[in-house]
Chain A
Amino acid sequence: MELPPGLTRREFIQAAFAVGLLTGFPPWAPAYARPLVGPAARVRGGPPGPVTMDLAIRADSVDIAGGVGSGITLNETIPGPLVELYEGHDAVLRVTNHLATDSSIHWHGILLPSEMDGVPGVTFPGIRPRETFEAKFPVRQRGTYWYHSHSGLQEQSGVYGPLVVHPATPDPYAYERDYVVVLSDWTFEDPHDVLAKLKKMSDYYNFQQRTVSDFARDVAAAGWQATLRDRLAWGRMRMSPTDIADITAYTYSYLMNGIHPAGNWTGIFTPGERVRLRFINAAAMTYFNVRIPGLPMTVVAADGPNVQPVEVDELQIGVAETYDVIVAPEDRSYTLFAESMDRSGYARGTLAPREGMTAEVPALRKPPLRTMVDMGMDMGGMDMNSMEMGEMNMGGMEMREMDMSGMSGGAMQHGSDPSAEPTHPGHMERMDRSEGDASPDSGMQTAGPVVAKHGPDEHGTGNTSVPRVQRNRLGEPGTGLENTGHRVLVYADLRSDRPRHGATRPPDREVELHLTGNMERYMWSFDGRKFSEVDGPIEFQYGERIRLILVNDTMMEHPIHLHGMFMELENGHGEHLPLKHTISVKPAERVSLLVDAVESGRWAFHCHLLYHMKMGMFRVVRVAGRPESRT
């Protein structure tokens, strides 16, 4: 077989697997849809210089995830090709739309002129059918990024790919092998049908709901009182603690570099080599827990820029985030395991010294549950070993529109025997549902401190609840990873690798936004208002330093993405605040970010859960004041 240039046989076979060449392409697929080259995951680099690249967006019938589906490809592959750019040189990326509808490509995390950012209706009108858009910009950063469609739900259908910027000066860490690891979710359903189902029945895809037998087991483990108290607390709010992911493995296949677990994407290394793995979460809706059993990972970059190295055994990657890790494998194979946060499925690949090797694939762990901390319950600074009930309001999220009078008494009261085991329902669940030998109340001990309380505005009918208290949760590893017994990355670990000039400059102004939603109606918004309900952009003045405060009033994580400018995450590291393009805000969390408004123009600002964005969790930030000076 004649191999396409630049590909080894192994890479070609991988690529072919990804797009189904080996398993036969359906005869009804048009000739142009026949994939010739699959996505190569190896980052090759080359002589630095300007890069010109063409990307073609096409509706294809694709062999993917063990079946045949309707997808949208980029240069005939899913994910699209690896785009490699060079810091200090120009990039010319020409995107041609072969769809029957408008399309677009957004360069996620890339600093560029607003009009090149690729968001229809915000930075340009979109790419009409059969038209080509040329994004031309000087590259002024380094690291791991990605690109994706910003039109409709096209991203779910496959319009995403990895983007790597090679640095102008060497990175402060060494490695001999370099791969992108693109994690994504795929469904054979039409994404519009998926959304329609969520609008009609928001727990449609949740097959991990609590049942009568869970109730019986919890009673056996924690007693009637605690179990009833727990069920009543959740029931009163009309929220489900099993609401971890809106869309699950019931419809999703989780892919690694476009390949489903049975396909086993494999990254080959030569023993002795250090391997850089660039994890990119290109999923529409799925958070992943990433680990390589037996192999510690040294995190060296987050969302592109370098961070001071931190060694971990596992990390949770929010939608649209990237993490670069360095690993030093021995002469054996390892499983790259990316478990969906709700643990309904996983993406999997292998890191191996030779082709055809596999390693043990871990079992999925038990699904996690939301806790009273996620509810925003006021724990009142209590001592868990002698709980003072008077201090404690079990109400958690404020009840909306209903009588609050019964809330803090009766069924919600703990027994007050100081010698008793903690009977907090949240604890009970942790004890019961998560493995590991953590102490019963560790769920509470690991919860971050309360930093604020919610004001009187409950954000209208589009928002179901507000957390009574807001916490700093930057030291928490993420849902389900509290008691793993090994090292898990937390946001508080991230430190920029070099001090940033002006990092200690105080902000000129604060902007506070609340992440709001109504799961029952599947409405998502900022401050209770969908995008269609706001009057205009959020205005920043050029040169302003903004403190952007995000408060998550919902019970789910939301990965909030600001286009065009990095956000400095205020995690206490002074001049070493890490830069993020996407910040995953935990339930009932209050996060503070600093933004230097030094990029003129309009920039999209939204939740990167695709269906949340589509349902209204979207705003535009406009940086005004010096547009004429831009070159």
Chain B
Amino acid sequence: MSLVALGLSLSPVGATAETPAGAPTDWPEPILDSNLRYFVLVDQLEFRGNDGDDLVRWDSEGWLGGDYNKLWFKTEGEVRTSGPSGGDAEFQILYGRTFAPFWDFQVGVRQDVLFGSGPDRERTFAVLGVEGLAPYWFEVTPALFISDDGDVSVRFTATYDLLFTQRLIAQPRIEVNAAAQDARKFGVESGFNDIELALRLRYEIRREFAPYIGVNWLRKLGDTADLAREEGEDVDALGVVVGIRLWF
């Protein structure tokens, strides 16, 4: 049955048996404009010196797909290299859909892991986000997370590239986190949790490969800061960063 249908569709007498180019169906397409492509950006791979609380940190994202539909991954995290061992890591897998010339809508899951002296603590979230280029060249990524406990939190990230030369580029970055509910196990109270400001100065030896130096300032806010104080942690951290940014 299907073979017959196939035979008919390939038949030259069939009035509609043609490619979008109007050519016989066994001819190749004249151009292939929708090949599967990929992109991996390791935006941060750095050592961060935080006044005796040093750590190695990464922040990476990428995609596999076409112009309209993409499979995204994002991961960030840090591992302490001085003081008590431990760290945290976050992984996201997202489906992305282009909904405007400069914007992708993203939906998927996020998995967090906190590890250290005690047992590992894990959380899973649903993710709703947007990623794109805002007017005036700001790369922005607002995202909404809903944890498996039903906790809702949001994160907003923005960066901007400031060119000193064609290769020497300063990148200010801001990240703000806020939560709707307490999640004390994870050091989070409701309200604004923290703000992070950073400035990285990179030199693009190649576009794909750029070592950088910079400063990073993290400040916990509101009840989250109080919680940190209770537990004897610092509420702010000013660090010097050294790292490389690369993509392929």
Q: Which residues of A contact B (CB under 8 A)?
A: 102, 119-122, 124-126, 150, 196-197, 199-201, 204, 207-213, 232, 235-238, 399-402, 461-465, 518, 520-521, 523, 530-532, 534-537, 602, 604, 613-616, 618, 620, 622
Contact = CB atoms under 8 A, between A and B. Distances in A.
Contacts of B24: 125
A238 B137 CA distance: 6
Contacts of A211: 163-166
Secondary structure at chain B's binding surface: helix, strand, loop or mixed? loop
A259 B235 CA distance: 65
> Most chain-A Cβ atoms within 10 A of its Cβ — which of B22, B34, B162?
B22
Nearest to A236: B135
Given A238-B133, A520-B133, A618-B31, A121 B102 contact: no
A521 B67 contact: yes
Nearest to A102: B28
A620 B30 contact: yes
Most chain A Cβ neighbours within 10 Å, of B28, B30, B100, B135: B30
B22 A537 contact: yes
A541 B163 CA distance: 54
B30 A119 contact: yes
Contacts of B119: none
Interface in B157-176: 162-166
Interface string B1-44: 00000000000000000111111101111111110010100000
Given A204-B207, A401-B103, A613 B31 contact: yes
Contacts of B247: 200-201
Contact of A464 (B99, B102, B166): B102
B84 interface: no
B101 interface: yes
B37 A196 contact: yes
A120 B32 CA distance: 12
A126 B29 CA distance: 10
A615 B30 contact: no
A122 B67 CA distance: 24
A34 to B, nearest CB: 32
B98 A461 contact: yes
Nearest to B135: A236
A201 B208 CA distance: 10
Contact of B20 (A120, A207, A401, A532): A532
B30 A531 contact: yes
B187 to A, nearest CB: 36
Contact of B101 (A401, A531, A602, A620): A401
B242 to A, nearest CB: 23
A122 B19 CA distance: 9
Nearest to A201: B207
A199 B164 CA distance: 25
A121 B28 contact: yes
Nearest to A204: B207
A530 to B, nearest CB: 5
A236 B136 contact: yes
Given A461-B100, A530-B33, A622 B28 contact: no
Contacts of B34: 530, 532, 616
A80 B209 CA distance: 37
B67 to A, nearest CB: 5
B30 A520 contact: no
Of the four ranges (under 10, 10 to 19, 20 to 34, 35 or more), the interface on chain B belongs to: 35 or more
B28 A616 contact: no
B186 interface: no
A524 to B, nearest CB: 8
B22 A622 contact: yes
Given A210-B163, A534-B20, 18 more contacts: A121-B29, A125-B24, A125-B28, A200-B37, A400-B101, A401-B100, A401-B101, A401-B102, A461-B68, A461-B101, A465-B101, A530-B33, A531-B29, A536-B22, A615-B33, A618-B30, A618-B31, A620-B21
A232 B136 contact: yes
A204 B98 CA distance: 22
Contacts of B33: 530-532, 614-616, 618
Contacts of A536: 18, 20, 22
Contact of A125 (B18, B26, B100): B26
Interface string B136-153: 110000000000000000
A213 B165 CA distance: 8
B23 to A, nearest CB: 6
B166 A207 contact: yes
A461 B135 CA distance: 16
B21 A537 contact: yes
A148 to B, nearest CB: 14
Contacts of B29: 121, 531-532
A275 B51 CA distance: 75
Contacts of B37: 196, 199-200
B67 A523 contact: yes
B28 A126 contact: yes
A237 B207 contact: no
B201 to A, nearest CB: 12
Nearest to A518: B101
A227 B229 CA distance: 47
Contacts of B101: 400-401, 461-465, 518, 520-521
A622 B23 CA distance: 10
Contacts of A537: 20-22
Contacts of B137: 235, 238
A604 B137 CA distance: 37
Nearest to B41: A200
B66 to A, nearest CB: 10
Nearest to B63: A200
A199 B135 CA distance: 20
A235 B136 contact: yes
A531 B67 CA distance: 13
Contacts of B136: 232, 235-236, 238
A462 B103 contact: no
B22 A238 contact: no
Contacts of A201: 207, 247
